Structure 1
Amino acid sequence: MNVRYLFLTVFLTICFSATAQKNDFQQEVINYLTTNGTVKQYESVFDDMFVVIKQQFSGANIPETEWANLKNSKSKDVDMAIRMFASAYRKHFTQDQIIAMNNFFGTPAGVQMRINPEALNADQRKEVKAFYDSEAGQNLNSVSGELTTDVSQISEYWSRDLFNEKMNALIAKGYSPQ
């Protein structure tokens, strides 16, 4: 009887430990996607989508309160995209590589590299070179094509489903696109 309890305790400890490690890794990727500007980018994509939808329903006289209600899900919808992107990043990078990428892209050199690499000063260029010479930087270069494909597919899926969801919500309330 005691052996069963011991086995059960060890088994549950291993399961909970593995889950906690996965959650930590997931959070590290989400932190990185915040640092590298992906979260802001998809907040803009969400907002831009409403410009298109408003054009589709331009003659439907939809009140601003209805538009506001549709936009209330922005945080939840963007979070969903980020969680999906995180799975693609976990596929290509280790947790240590994600931490290194987050650390680098959070520095002034990393931010400048992302915004305008031409404006890097000499010291920043050295930092960029050191990062890309590291394991994380080399892996980022080697998987960039596959990662871009994965992220593009996820982005397409997310934006298409979100667009359809918002269009269908308006149609269900009796509004007709033009």
Structure 2
Amino acid sequence: MDNSKRKYLFTSSRLGFRTWAHRDIQQMTLLNSDKKVMEFFPFLPSEKETVEFIHRMQNQFLENGFCYFPVDLLETDTFIGFIGLSMQQFDSDFTPCVDIGWRIHKKYWGQGLATEGALECLAYAKNDLQLNRIHSMAPKTNLKSIKVMEKIGMTYVKDFEHPKLKENPRLNKCVLFAINL
């Protein structure tokens, strides 16, 4: 195995998926402060909230063997964001469930990286984790994420109002997609 790939839990042709490290805080804080990247989220997380997110992901990985994984572009060994799986436990008729999601620096948009990474995460979920169903959700207005859901073979389940976004009428109407593995 190539030495550069040893630090990764798994890789796709262009991406390396790994566990979160302290060095990711600054880059993730920058990503979270980008208004375009965060267009479909209710607020821009602070550095403290970003650290809390990273700690939640580290704990999820320890408990479940998955999280929203930090992702590096293998060619340059550059952090580009996250793609992965996360437990969702908010109050709804389809939770708890495993969600697939992504957040990538905008300079890497339009290159098929979210789709490539999500497909690799689905393979990891099926082959390594033995999971049989994965969900994904987004505000109805987030057409780019919905397109990725469709490209990775997910199918529309229903519209729903996200309980964590009740106070945000621009974002609370969401779509739920799912795929059986």
> Which fold has the larger relative contact order, with Cα–Cα distance below 8 Å and residues 6 or more apart in sequence?
1
Q: Report if TM-score (shorter chain) is over 0.5.
A: no
TM-score (norm 2): 0.25
Structure number with greater Rg is 1
In proportion to residue count, which structure has more helix?
1
